[in-house]
Amino acid sequence: MLVDRLLAACTGVLPDATVIVTGSLALGDYEPGESDVDLLVLSDTPTGGLVEAVKQAWSQEQGEFDLRVVRYAVAARPTRRPHLVLGISDYGDRFEVTRDTEDDDLVIEFSVCRQLGRSDVIGSVPDQWVDEVGGAALARWKTIGYDPPNQELMALTACRIWRFREERVHCSKPAAAQWARERGARVAYDEQAVKALLDRASG
């Protein structure tokens, strides 16, 4: 399985690494061949050689993934825009490598990891910060408007943002969609339905 190969690549290059499985695998909606693999890696070891090791692991079992490396101190004391040492991703049509940047999406990763019980290595994350990141995504999608290839992602993510704002709970996309339906929302992927979900999630 791809996640096992990626785990082995990380621990092989970064001997002090703590690797936390997040995303759909951790929240219960992983679908082989459809979902990506999300990993948060904490390490103070230089990351030289990790990109090559990850590419080798990926070549043996291809699939979409998103792997982010941060220092232990950054995870222990989160800020609104945590520092990302290295990001490696495959989105099906491109392989991306990002180095030494600020990444506000890490706020959500940290919050999810704490919900999963990793408060031993992840410091407290104010819910307001998570709301801010979600709100920025909603505002961006409203500006983009009708975007057929991404309508399903927008709708389901809006449900997740909405539920977190209301109940302070991170959940899988299917669970969030069911939660939204129970509150009278129409969870569908046409333009009108997605616009309504973005509005509901915005509060």
Q: Residue 118: how many CB atoms within 10 A of its CB?
A: 17
Cβ neighbors of 23 (< 8 A, separation 6 or more) are 30, 35, 36, 37, 38, 66, 112
Domain ranges of the chain: 2-115, 127-202
**Each residue's pLDDT tens digit, 151-180:** 999 999 999 999 999 999 999 999 999 999
Highest mean pLDDT among 10-14, 93-97, 172-176: 10-14
- pLDDT, residue 23, reads 87
As a whole-number percent, the residues of the chain with pLDDT over 70 amount to 100
Q: Which CATH number fits domain 2-115: 3.30.160, 3.30.70, 3.30.460, 1.10.10?
A: 3.30.460
175-to-36, 61, 70, 171, 172 alpha-carbon distances in Å:
18, 29, 29, 6, 5
pTM flag (> 0.95) = no
**Each residue's pLDDT tens digit, 110-159:** 999 999 999 999 999 999 999 999 999 999 999 998 899 999 999 999 99
Mean pLDDT of all residues in the chain? 94
- pLDDT, residue 93, reads 65
Decide if 200 contacts 185 (C-beta within 8 A).
yes
**Each residue's pLDDT tens digit, 23-82:** 888 988 887 777 789 999 999 999 999 999 999 998 888 889 999 999 999 999 999 999
